[in-house]
Amino acid sequence: MSPTQTALGRLLQDRRESAEYSRARVGELVGIKPGTIEGWELGRVVRPPLHDVLRLAHFLQIAADEILQAVFEDAGVAPTTADVPAQQERKKARRRRPEGAVPLLEAAFRLLGWPDEATAAEALGASSERIGRWRSGAERMEFADYMTLSSMIGLAAAAAMKG
């Protein structure tokens, strides 16, 4: 039985082909084996590693919204907070951090050695003021920014493991 191509695989393949890259060439450029990319595109790997998909999507200039749409097309729409019973939500609210506070951002400051918000802003392509608003919880971090941050941490961890 041959695998069924996923919406994510189809999106990645369509964009790669539109950009006129072979799997070998794009793999060489982003550091992912061509066979791995083929597995994603053809549906042999249904849930590829997020940080690798984001690296490839970034290179191919695929918007985060398009990635989300493809993932939800494959897996179904995830429930929203409106779908969670009120009692369960109240329990969560008692232990939840302030809205918008981003523990992952604080971890990135420590892991990546960012001395200040200006350094973080330069790395993330945002303003120092926006970094400050994210850290204080005054502004919620958008999904695309969060995924960029996750990828940066993943790449730093991979580099640290290589030595």
pLDDT tens string, the chain, 163 residues long: the values are 568 899 999 999 999 999 999 999 999 999 999 999 999 999 999 889 988 999 999 999 998 888 888 888 877 666 666 666 665 555 555 555 444 467 888 888 888 889 999 999 998 888 999 999 988 888 888 888 888 888 888 888 777 777 6
Fold (CATH) for 7-75: 434 Repressor (Amino-terminal Domain) (1.10.260)
Neighbours of 72 (CB within 10 A): 13
Residue 50: which residues within 8 A CB-CB, separation 6 or more? Answer: 147, 150
For the record, the structure tokens of 23 come out as 């799997």
- CATH topology (fold) of 97-162: 434 Repressor (Amino-terminal Domain) (1.10.260)
Q: Is the pTM of this model over 0.75?
A: no
Residue ranges of the chain assigned to CATH 1.10.260.40? 7-75
SS3 31: coil
